[in-house]
Structure 1
Amino acid sequence: MGQVINIFFINISIIYLVLSLTLYLMRQLLPIQTGSPYAVRIWFGLAMGLAAVLLTVNSFQVGEARVDLRIIPLALSAAYAGPIGVTVTTGLTLLGRFALDGMTEQFVSSFGTLGLFLVLSLGLSRLVLRRGHLYSAYLVFGTVLVLFRIAGNVPMHAFTTVFLPYFAITFLGGWMCYWVAKQIETHLRMFRLHTQRATIDELTGLPNRYMTLERLNEVEMSGLPWALFVIDVDRFKQLNDTYGHRAGDAALHHIAQTLQANCPPDGFVGRYGGEEFLMVLEDVGDVRSIADDIVTVVRDTPFSFEGTTIPMTVSIGATLAGAEPGTVVFERADAALYQAKMNGRDQAKIG
């Protein structure tokens, strides 16, 4: 019995490893559920199929039965990825069994068992159940199928020395795997959320001040020519006072989207603070022409708030970076912006 328990714990470790790596690699796609895109469900099914194949390799024979914990990745695939995921997992599981045993009676029996499990997933997928309840149903049904399949194919004493531990570890290990999967999924989603909040400006969707300066520093350290545009929304306080702060927020979002849509492919835009934005170009072209084009496109892109069209313009201070530090480049661009403001706004000045 000790050897049996040892192999089962190896099985559990394999499931943990594959499941953890899968959720980490798919962290940008979480949560994985039956309504996820087809590609996501297929990839999850492939990962659980890989786990099932590894479990098959690490299984052991009891009479004519091959014993392992393949039902756990099958149940995970069905609960997370639905019929599509479990179909992929089932296919890989059968391929693994065929590669080990060939076309034997046990393979045909496994084919029938997995086919019944797939039919169950098709039926349960039509019901509105919580994922935990679905997983429980798959785990119980799959274990019962295993019990019926091995009945008559193993000696009676094996039920006490092998299959009682098998059922106990299947349910205990199955729920441990599901609990771990939930914890990993929650952790990765919260990490992604906190990372996004730390680097992305929630109002505009652009990189925030911290992220913008980080990327600007990377460009500066590259040693390649680059240009900096400091962009300020004209008469923004007046807009806030006239139409309210909700209109001001909508205007900043509008400006941000306009700048991002018209930023050259080799550059990026970030919100520096308040109504001020930075645009950094890495492959420097005609700085004046690009700056003038941005001023024009902002002026000509209509902004409407609650049925009212509000004119929007920006002033730009632009400069071409030489070998000086980024702080010096920023001061020169900021001085050019001040000139643009003093000369009547809605224009670009090159410093």
Structure 2
Amino acid sequence: MLSQFNQFLLNFSLLITSLLFAFLPLRHIKRISPTSPIRIRLIVGVIAGLISVLLVLNSVTYDGAKVDLRLVALVTAFYYGGWVSGGITMVAIIGARFIITPPGAYEGLILTALICSALLVTASVYRRFASHTLKDYLILIAIGIGYSLPALYLLTETFTRFLEISLVYIIFILLGGYVTYRFLQELRKHFQFVQMQQELALTDGLTNLANRRKLDETLASYDKDGFAFSVLIVDIDFFKSVNDTYGHDGGDVVLRQLSHLLEHCCPDKAMVGRYGGEEFVLLLPDMPLKEAVRLGETIRSACADQHFVFSTYPAFHVTLSIGVAASDQAATSFEVVQKADQSLYQAKQTGRNKVVAYSEVD
């Protein structure tokens, strides 16, 4: 029995290691379920199928039986991807079992096909009355064990031999199922945490807009891909007086309300970011200069008409100065930003509350 135990331990290690590397491509998907897009479920099925093939090819040979953790891969595929993923994994298991089956000894292959089919049918019925929990996952594993034990009995030479292998088999299948479920749950939490930290590193904490780092990364990608775009640099006029009158809390309220206005006015493809202080940058892909100027006028007018409210103070207004430039006016994206900044300076020097395009600068 110790030999079988050691072989199962190797099978178990192969399962966990394969899961770690195989599911890395899916780390950015928040949740995988039987209702996920078909492409995702196909990928899950292929991954689980490849893992099951590795498990079958490294199975424990006991009399006429080939024992391994393939059921864990099959249940996992169905649990996360439904019939699509489970079906792909079942085909992979049957194919791998066929490869290692000696000519003429097809009893194990036939039993494998029957067990996998019965498990998927039972799982599809059970899922209608179950929730997506660890208990339900382990029940499906237990059902698979229940279907496998009669096959083990038929393929082993004596009842004593059946008891020897079945005990180790039950322990490792249940343990493998539990560890696989917990491992995938913790792996998903870890990926979500890393993704959240990455988003926080690229997000302005006050306005939840893109921060300067994110804007600079996007500008660099525009250079790399050769995108045509325009830039609006938006600055709040006399923002210091807002802070002096209403305090920094009042200034923060203005910044947040303005960020909402900018997001509302901009097209979906645009990126709105806070460049620092009271200055905002809008990156507008595939938008020519004239259209960007019109958008700037829309934003300026909307802000001038908006009532800003803070605490018990009466509603008040703020105005914006906006500089505009386009990518066909400069060699690099960062030069476009510099030219938009020059236009903003011109707007400030010529009376504020206006939009100035770079082509208008003398």
Q: Which bracket does the TM-score occupy, shorter chain normalised?
A: 0.7 to 0.9
Deviation at 1:212, TM superposition (A): 1.8
Deviation at 1:191, TM superposition (A): 1.1
- CA-to-partner distance for each residue in 1:188-225, whole Å, 9 max, x for gaps? 11111121122134786642223223444677899999
Indicate if the aligned counterparts of 1:316 and 1:336 stay in contact, CA closer than 8 A. Answer: yes
Whole-angstrom distance in 2 between the partners of 1:203 and 1:158: 68
Question: What amino acid is aligned across from residue 193 of structure 2 in structure 1?
Answer: M
**Corresponding position of 2:234:** 231
- CA-to-partner distance for each residue in 1:41-84, whole Å, 9 max, x for gaps? 33212211111111111113322221111111112223322333
**TM-score between both structures, scaled by the size of structure 2:** 0.75
1:125 to 124, 127, 131: 127
Question: What amino acid is aligned across from residue 121 of structure 1 in structure 2?
Answer: A
Matched, 1:210 2:213: yes
- CA-to-partner distance for each residue in 1:147-197, whole Å, 9 max, x for gaps? 111213202342354332222222223222222212111111111112112
Matched, 1:317 2:312: no
Whole-angstrom distance in 1 between the partners of 2:225 and 2:117: 57
Question: What amino acid is aligned across from residue 292 of structure 1 in structure 2?
Answer: V
Aligned-pair Cα RMSD in Å: 4.0
Whole-angstrom distance in 2 between the partners of 1:202 and 1:38: 36
Whole-angstrom distance in 1 between the partners of 2:278 and 2:157: 78
Whole-angstrom distance in 2 between the partners of 1:115 and 1:220: 53
Structure 2: any 5+ residue segments left out of the alignment? 308-316
Give the percent of matched residue pairs that are identical in Structure 1 and Structure 2: 26
Structure 1: any 5+ residue segments left out of the alignment? 306-310
Q: Report the 3-state secondary structure (helix = DSSP H, G, I; strand = E; otherwise coil) of the residue aligned with 1:49.
A: helix
2:184 to 169, 181, 184: 181
Q: Report the 3-state secondary structure (helix = DSSP H, G, I; strand = E; otherwise coil) of the residue aligned with 2:78.
A: helix
Instruction: Check 1:234–1:116 CA distance in 2 against 1; reply closer, same or farther (3 A cut).
Output: farther
**Corresponding position of 2:171:** 168
1:345 to 353, 358, 361: 353
**Corresponding position of 2:73:** 73
Alignment of 1:245-284 (within 5 A): 249=256, 251-261=258-268, 263=270, 269-273=272-276, 276-279=279-282
**Corresponding position of 1:31:** 31
**Corresponding position of 1:83:** 83
- CA-to-partner distance for each residue in 1:83-134, whole Å, 9 max, x for gaps? 3332222122122223333782322211111111011111121023242011
Indicate if the aligned counterparts of 1:234 and 1:345 stay in contact, CA closer than 8 A. Answer: yes
Deviation at 1:281, TM superposition (A): 7.8
Question: What amino acid is aligned across from residue 196 of structure 2 in structure 1?
Answer: L
Q: Report the 3-state secondary structure (helix = DSSP H, G, I; strand = E; otherwise coil) of the residue aligned with 1:152.
A: helix
Whole-angstrom distance in 1 between the partners of 2:112 and 2:126: 21
**Corresponding position of 2:314:** none
**Corresponding position of 2:295:** 294
Instruction: Check 1:233–1:96 CA distance in 2 against 1; reply closer, same or farther (3 A cut).
Output: farther
Whole-angstrom distance in 2 between the partners of 1:55 and 1:107: 15
Instruction: Check 1:321–1:165 CA distance in 2 against 1; reply closer, same or farther (3 A cut).
Output: same
Whole-angstrom distance in 2 between the partners of 1:176 and 1:182: 10
Instruction: Check 1:304–1:296 CA distance in 2 against 1; reply closer, same or farther (3 A cut).
Output: closer
**Corresponding position of 1:141:** 143
Whole-angstrom distance in 1 between the partners of 2:319 and 2:234: 10
Indicate if the aligned counterparts of 1:18 and 1:47 stay in contact, CA closer than 8 A. Answer: no
Indicate if the aligned counterparts of 2:56 and 2:97 stay in contact, CA closer than 8 A. Answer: yes
Q: Report the 3-state secondary structure (helix = DSSP H, G, I; strand = E; otherwise coil) of the residue aligned with 1:121.
A: helix
Indicate if the aligned counterparts of 2:262 and 2:272 stay in contact, CA closer than 8 A. Answer: no
Instruction: Check 1:12–1:332 CA distance in 2 against 1; reply closer, same or farther (3 A cut).
Output: same
Matched, 1:106 2:108: yes
**Corresponding position of 2:312:** none
Q: Report the 3-state secondary structure (helix = DSSP H, G, I; strand = E; otherwise coil) of the residue aligned with 2:52.
A: helix
Whole-angstrom distance in 2 between the partners of 1:172 and 1:225: 56
Aligned residues: 336
Deviation at 1:270, TM superposition (A): 2.7
Whole-angstrom distance in 2 between the partners of 1:178 and 1:262: 38
Indicate if the aligned counterparts of 1:80 and 1:131 stay in contact, CA closer than 8 A. Answer: no
Whole-angstrom distance in 2 between the partners of 1:286 and 1:34: 44
Q: Report the 3-state secondary structure (helix = DSSP H, G, I; strand = E; otherwise coil) of the residue aligned with 1:33.
A: coil
Whole-angstrom distance in 2 between the partners of 1:41 and 1:304: 47
Whole-angstrom distance in 2 between the partners of 1:213 and 1:7: 53
Whole-angstrom distance in 2 between the partners of 1:220 and 1:106: 60
